[in-house]
Amino acid sequence: MQIIANPGIKKTMKIAPDKSFKIAIASGKGGTGKTLVATNLFYVLKKNIDNVALVDCDAEAPNVMGFYNNYKFNSDYDITLKAPVIMKEKCNFCGKCKEYCSFNAIFLIHETIQVVYDLCHGCGACFFACKYGAIKEKHLKLGKVSHYSNGKESSIIESRLKIGVLSSVPVIKASINESDKNQICILDSPPGTSCPFIQTIEKADYVVLVAEPTPFGLSDLKQSVETLKTMNKKYGVIINREGIGNFDIYDYLKFENINILMQIPFSKKIASCYSKGDILVDFMPELQNDFLSMFNTIIN
């Protein structure tokens, strides 16, 4: 596949036609501008590529659709977990199911037995362990994955965790799998470096870390970088709110030989756009070429 870049971008971009190329937009903490970058990159790319998807992987607080209310709802489906229900009248309290459960999700003391559903991963080991037919299954709803589109092939996929459910990982995983048919996928990652972040970037071909040039921003960036190193991921950094804080982050990036992909200035206009749910490049078209240029760098 070849994309003809906008005027001002001299390079052409080549992507293997048979592969879904996934770019995760991530950061060590919330509020650094991940969604700002993800929504604008998607906006710029879909002008150039038919088959591009934006996946909102922040299942605990999805907000991408706040920027794309012109996209229409297409479909959704529930993400469920196959969990055990112990029938006490058939149970002889032998403890085999508890022994097989690697997640400590079965509580057994004397003749009291209970499944702790917040810990259950739906692995099915306890079903296999019980030889007395004392376990039946039930489907627990964890959340849902929704599809939105603008009538063309570009689409937005939203993961949303059910209130009260502890882990967003299965919902995120399902939403990313849904994007496999798109040639380019932008994954708006959950903040932090815990399991939801790992689940999101695990399938990414490239990770864009968004960081602020402040001591707090640098501290979180270091954690993200160390995590990505252990996962052997390719990555680069966007400095958001350039102009606040200090220069320590630049020293760190230079020392670590990490590419600065783009800088977004600290500006009231940008903050105002974002807070209204507007797409920034509509109001600052000069940033369009910066996003395309960054994409060009990533895929080359």
Binding residues (CB under 6 A) for ligand SF4: these are 83-84, 86, 91-97, 100-101, 103, 105-106, 113, 115, 120-126, 129-130, 132, 134-135
In the bound complex, what is the minimum distance in angstroms from residue 25's beta carbon to ligand SF4? 32
Nearer to ligand SF4, 130 or 298 (CB): 130
Nearer to ligand SF4, 50 or 99 (CB): 99
Q: Among candidates 209, 299, 220, which has minimal Cα distance to 262? A: 209
DSSP-derived secondary structure for 160-189:
EEPTT-S--HHHHHHHHHHGGGSSEEEEEP
- Residue pair 158/187 in contact (Cβ under 8 Å)? The answer is no
Nearer to ligand SF4, 125 or 298 (CB): 125
Under DSSP, the state recorded for 6 is P
In the bound complex, what is the minimum distance in angstroms from residue 77's beta carbon to ligand SF4? 22
In the bound complex, what is the minimum distance in angstroms from residue 91's beta carbon to ligand SF4? 3
Report the C-alpha gap between 112 and 124 in whole angstroms: 21
Nearer to ligand SF4, 4 or 109 (CB): 109
Q: Which residues, other chains included, contact 271 with Cβ-Cβ below 8 Å and sequence gap of 6+?
A: none
- Residue pair 202/232 in contact (Cβ under 8 Å)? The answer is no
Burial track 274-291 (b if 16+ CB lie within 10 A, e otherwise):
beeeebbbeebeebbbbb
In the bound complex, what is the minimum distance in angstroms from residue 109's beta carbon to ligand SF4? 11
Nearer to ligand SF4, 16 or 116 (CB): 116
Q: Among candidates 148, 158, 159, 146, which has minimal Cα distance to 73? A: 148
Nearer to ligand SF4, 135 or 184 (CB): 135
In the bound complex, what is the minimum distance in angstroms from residue 121's beta carbon to ligand SF4? 4
- Residue pair 160/168 in contact (Cβ under 8 Å)? The answer is no
DSSP β-bridge partners for residue 108: 113
In the bound complex, what is the minimum distance in angstroms from residue 258's beta carbon to ligand SF4? 39
Nearer to ligand SF4, 21 or 117 (CB): 117
In the bound complex, what is the minimum distance in angstroms from residue 171's beta carbon to ligand SF4? 17
CB count within 10 Å of CB 194 equals 11
